[in-house]
């Protein structure tokens, strides 16, 4: 631990400031530019996880934040690094992840008036983050870092970019007493009593109520209140993104949105909790939801309310406090539990029946459903699942059941292929950190990805091995960009620029020091996953999967877990398969 004094380097000031926000792991693609900051972090026993690409470094901090609920911190440089980091910053922005990106800028004396890009302006990242600033005085480092962290964590969370001239990190900072001052607690907005009462009245009168939850419900710690509300009043909870697992997906009251969305149009009252009405959720419109359905919407920010349709009961409040208030109001009204959720089970029956028939008895090739079933047989209740790719995630959504939260993350909503690898790295680093705090075993992390998506950031396994971070990676290798390949075949009867060939991805992992193997036979897949679970470090399984299964998914509506349509057509006619 570094000796405390009133004369510190800028790096020490930053290290001590982020520790006040509970940060114990930092993700860094950094060397000379961050020397004094890296030195301070290391002396303060902050675990450093090395990155090999700026987007991956930011995404790893994002994954860390999604698991811990804390601030994620990423270190990159300005000139070459900022353009590389754009995809990671935008992914965090879309996913509402609080990530503080500390950008080291070249020394001020190096900045030339004729530079092609004025990095001081931060114009490149302003539209894709909550806040972007340059620190203009070494004596204000604590102020700027603290302000940036608060901005990232407050309201609807998101990434903040803070650019720091390199010379500030090694500069002497006087009068640092304020570093030890306690942080002011930020109060969370509660639901107005009248709004909670109105929501309770709608739910009490409903015949077929449904609760749709998203990442905001997890950020707001709404799990305990949601589980009580669902259980005591027999209301199904359908979850998306980071909200999955808040109510265990038990095929009764807990469901995932990708699987159970076919039942949404049957609901007469829908309560949205920390979930935006985006394209993936049919914009909240018919035909995905009934035109006459009544909506309750809970969101931390007012601009998210009534995004595409009228909401009968809008509630601008913290998700956890609001759900608890609605539950309390139902108790006060002495509302009776719903008699049955049979309506939802009936709506899902054709889909579940079809899914149960597919991928059985395969002896020559590994069907993606076989892969998904083998994973589910072995997935502990407290596991953290990370999803990436296109075709394989459609298949996984049909079989996957998440039973704890936070227990699910993927590249949604931006959909940037490849970020599953650094997300898993960050999630596993978070799991290890939390295990050290509680003196328990780390929660296992498993990444299921496609061969195309795996190819983006495989070098991040270098950092995982160096940091001693374990997660399992299972690659569905069909030798192609599967979704594009089968889409082109249906559209033009042939494929162009979609084939990836026979690549040994397990050997790529081994090059970075991971254990790995390729599996080609269905019977060998389960034992391979067992070996991965028992391994001490990162383990990669290259599973050669069916090259035709994706065609069946494209043509069978029952197997399509992700539906697409634009907003205008949603208001007129449903062009996606009728099942969704």
Same domain, 150 and 277: no
Residue 321 sits in a domain of what CATH number?
3.40.50.1220
Same domain, 316 and 391: no
The answer as to whether 1 is a domain residue is no
Name the average pLDDT for the chain.
92
Same domain, 376 and 523: yes
The answer as to whether 565 is a domain residue is no
Query: Angle at which helices 54-68 and 81-95 pack, to 10 degrees?
Result: 30
Instruction: Report the pLDDT value the prediction gives residue 181, as an integer from 0 to 100.
Output: 83
> pLDDT class for 579, splitting at 50, 70, 90?
very low
Cα–Cα distance between 289 and 574 in angstroms, integer?
12
Same domain, 161 and 210: no
Same domain, 407 and 457: yes
Least-confidence region, from 114-123, 273-282, 463-472, 540-549:
114-123
The answer as to whether 525 is a domain residue is yes
pLDDT of residue 120 exceeding 70? no
Same domain, 382 and 463: yes
pLDDT digits (tens, 9 = 90+) for 424-452: 999 999 999 999 999 999 999 999 999 99
- Coil, helix or strand at residue 568: helix
Instruction: Report the pLDDT value the prediction gives residue 119, as an integer from 0 to 100.
Output: 58
pLDDT digits (tens, 9 = 90+) for 21-52: 999 999 999 778 999 999 999 999 999 999 99
Residues 163 and 135 sit within 8 Å (Cβ to Cβ): yes
Same domain, 282 and 381: no
> pLDDT class for 354, splitting at 50, 70, 90?
very high
Instruction: Report the pLDDT value the prediction gives residue 486, as an integer from 0 to 100.
Output: 87
Choosing from 311, 346, 381, the residue where a domain stops is 346
Residue 117 sits in a domain of what CATH number?
3.40.50.970
The answer as to whether 573 is a domain residue is no
Cα–Cα distance between 522 and 545 in angstroms, integer?
9
> pLDDT class for 161, splitting at 50, 70, 90?
very high
pLDDT digits (tens, 9 = 90+) for 491-515: 999 999 999 999 999 999 999 999 9
pLDDT of residue 577 exceeding 60? no
Instruction: Please give the distance of CA 275 from its chain centroid, rounded to a whole number.
Output: 13
Choosing from 127, 154, 180, the residue where a domain stops is 180
Instruction: Report the pLDDT value the prediction gives residue 177, as an integer from 0 to 100.
Output: 67
Helices (H), ranges, 440-548: 451-454, 460-467, 482-492, 505-511, 522-534
Cα–Cα distance between 538 and 469 in angstroms, integer?
7
Same domain, 314 and 385: no
Report the relative pairing of strands 384-387 and 160-165 from DSSP bridges. Answer: unpaired
Short-list 466, 387, 379, 461, CA closest to 425: 461
Task: Please tell me which residue, 55 or 564, carries the higher pLDDT value.
Answer: 55
Question: Which residues form the domain of 242?
Answer: 193-346
Instruction: Report the pLDDT value the prediction gives residue 564, as an integer from 0 to 100.
Output: 66
Same domain, 271 and 366: no
Instruction: Report the pLDDT value the prediction gives residue 518, as an integer from 0 to 100.
Output: 98
pLDDT of residue 572 exceeding 80? no
Instruction: Please give the distance of CA 144 from its chain centroid, rounded to a whole number.
Output: 27
Choosing from 151, 180, 209, the residue where a domain stops is 180
The answer as to whether 188 is a domain residue is no
The answer to whether the bond into 287 is cis (omega within 30° of 0) is yes
Same domain, 305 and 161: no
Instruction: Report the pLDDT value the prediction gives residue 5, as an integer from 0 to 100.
Output: 52
CA geometry: angle at 20 spanning 141 and 241, to 5°?
Answer: 105
> pLDDT class for 1, splitting at 50, 70, 90?
very low
The answer as to whether 97 is a domain residue is yes
Same domain, 272 and 163: no
**% the chain with pLDDT above 90:** 81
pLDDT of residue 279 exceeding 60? yes
Instruction: Report the pLDDT value the prediction gives residue 550, as an integer from 0 to 100.
Output: 87
Instruction: Report the pLDDT value the prediction gives residue 470, as an integer from 0 to 100.
Output: 97
Same domain, 460 and 337: no
Instruction: Report the pLDDT value the prediction gives residue 307, as an integer from 0 to 100.
Output: 87
pLDDT of residue 527 exceeding 90? yes
Instruction: Report the pLDDT value the prediction gives residue 551, as an integer from 0 to 100.
Output: 86
In total, how many domains does the chain have? 3
- Other CB atoms within a 10 A radius of the CB of residue 175 amount to 9
């Amino acid at each position: 631990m570094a000796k405390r004094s009133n004369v510190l380097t800028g790096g020490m000031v930053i290290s001590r400031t982020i520790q006040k926000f509970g940060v114990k792991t930092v993700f860094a693609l950094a060397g000379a530019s961050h020397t004094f900051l890296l030195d301070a972090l290391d002396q303060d026993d902050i675990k450093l996880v090395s990155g090999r690409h700026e987007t991956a470094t930011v995404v790893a901090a994002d994954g860390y934040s999604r698991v811990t609920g804390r601030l994620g911190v990423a270190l990159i440089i300005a000139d070459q690094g900022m353009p590389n980091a754009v995809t990671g910053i935008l992914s965090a922005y879309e996913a509402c992840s609080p990530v503080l990106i500390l950008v080291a800028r070249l020394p001020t004396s190096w900045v030339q008036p004729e530079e092609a890009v004025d990095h001081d302006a931060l114009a490149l990242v302003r539209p894709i983050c909550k806040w972007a600033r340059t620190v203009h005085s070494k004596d204000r480092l604590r102020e700027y870092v603290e302000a940036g962290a608060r901005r990232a964590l407050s309201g609807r969370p998101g990434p903040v970019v803070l650019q720091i001239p390199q010379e500030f990190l090694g500069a002497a900072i006087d009068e640092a007493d304020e570093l030890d001052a306690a942080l002011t607690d930020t109060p969370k907005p509660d639901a107005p009593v009248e709004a909670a009462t109105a929501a309770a009245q709608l739910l009490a009168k409903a015949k077929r109520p449904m609760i749709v939850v998203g990442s905001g419900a997890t950020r707001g710690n709404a799990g305990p209140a949601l589980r009580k509300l669902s259980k005591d009043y027999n209301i199904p909870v359908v979850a998306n993104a980071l909200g999955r697992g808040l109510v265990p997906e038990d095929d009764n009251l807990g469901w995932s949105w990708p699987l159970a969305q076919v039942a949404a149009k049957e609901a007469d009252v829908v309560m949205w909790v920390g979930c935006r009405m985006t394209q993936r959720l049919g914009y909240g419109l018919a035909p995905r939801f009934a035109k006459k359905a009544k909506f309750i919407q809970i969101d931390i920010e007012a601009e998210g309310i009534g995004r595409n349709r009228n909401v009968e009961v809008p509630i601008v409040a913290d998700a956890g406090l609001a759900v608890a208030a609605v539950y309390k109001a139902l108790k006060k009204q002495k509302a009776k539990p719903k008699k049955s959720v049979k309506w939802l089970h009936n709506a899902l029956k054709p889909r579940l029946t079809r899914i149960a028939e597919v991928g059985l008895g395969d002896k020559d090739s590994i069907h993606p459903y076989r892969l998904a079933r083998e994973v589910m047989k072995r997935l502990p209740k407290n596991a953290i699942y990370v999803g990436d790719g296109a075709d394989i995630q459609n298949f996984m959504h049909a079989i996957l059941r998440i039973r704890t939260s936070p227990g699910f993350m993927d590249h949604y909503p931006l959909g940037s292929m490849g970020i599953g690898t650094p997300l898993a790295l960050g999630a596993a680093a978070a799991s290890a950190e939390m295990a050290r705090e509680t003196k328990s075993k780390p929660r296992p992390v498993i990444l299921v990805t496609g061969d195309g998506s795996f190819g983006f950031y495989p070098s991040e396994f270098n950092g995982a091995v160096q940091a001693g971070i374990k997660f399992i990676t299972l690659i569905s290798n069909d030798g192609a960009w599967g979704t594009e390949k089968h889409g082109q075949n249906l559209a033009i009867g042939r494929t162009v620029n979609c084939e990836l060939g026979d690549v040994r991805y397990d050997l790529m992992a081994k090059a970075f020091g991971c254990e790995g193997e390729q599996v080609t036979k269905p019977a060998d897949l389960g034992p391979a996953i067992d070996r991965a679970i028992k391994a001490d470090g990162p383990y990669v399984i290259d599973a050669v999967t069916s090259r035709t299964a994706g065609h069946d998914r494209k043509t069978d509506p029952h197997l399509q877990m992700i539906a697409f349509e634009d907003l205008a057509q949603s208001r007129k006619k449903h062009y996606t398969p009728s099942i969704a």
